[in-house]
Amino acid sequence: MNTTASSLHTDHGGTRAFSPVGIIWLKLAVVYLIIGVGMGIMMGASRDFTMRPVHAHINLLGWATMALAGLIYSVFPEAGLSKLARLHFWLANLSLPVMAVALGLVITGTTALVPVLAASEIVAALGILVFAANLFINLKAR
Ligand code: HEM
């Protein structure tokens, strides 16, 4: 069996590379992991846990959800290459940075940003709905 990094699993006796469509998701996810973990370490060191919800959302929406999307889109390239996947990508990746910054500012007193926070949360939720629709429509057994 070919064991190079690009041929990660076998299919019907042959070797086959994973689709590259998930790679951008996985690289962005690990950037969010670094930011989320950095915030966690800073909260622990300072004993100031105000940013706890920002930390949790960066880790769970940024790291966990995006890494899962990357893995799913790698294993099921029909879903990863669809128009819905492209829409999901932009909804998720435009909403989360805005949401994280707005949430951090709102919980530290800038309540004027509540509408921005709400709008970014709606866009993030739309991204999740598009993700769900994509999986229901485009995940097929091969
Ligand atoms: C080295 C890595 C990490 C450090 C140092 C860290 C640190 C922390 C700290 C100090 C808190 C606040 C605890 C408190 O208020 O008593 C917290 C809460 C939390 N963390 Fe992390 N964390 C890390 C990684 C992660 C990861 C990878 C995830 C998710 C994938 C995560 C999800 C959460 C959640 C859900 C909460 C609770 C938020 C809340 O109650 O509002 N953390 N973390």
pLDDT of residue 84: 98
Give every CB contact of residue 77 below 8 A, 6+ residues apart in sequence: 19, 21
Integer Cα distance of 47 and 133 in angstroms: 41
pLDDT of residue 79: 96
CA of 7 to the centre of ligand 1 (A): 35
Enter the pTM of the model: 0.86
Ligand 1: residues whose CB is within 6 Å? 36-37, 40-41, 43-44, 49, 52-53, 55-56, 59-60, 63-64
Looking at the DSSP assignment, which residues form a beta bridge with residue 15?
A: 10
What are 69-97's pLDDT values in tens digits? 999 999 999 999 999 999 999 999 999 99
Quick one: which atom of ligand 1 is closest to the CA of 33? 27
DSSP labels, 21-86 = GGHHHHHHHHHHHHHHHHHHHHHHHHT--TTHHHHHHIIIIIIIIHHHHHHHHHH-HHHHTSHHHH
What are 36-49's pLDDT values in tens digits? 999 999 999 999 99
pLDDT of residue 20: 82
Quick one: which atom of ligand 1 is closest to the CA of 41? 5
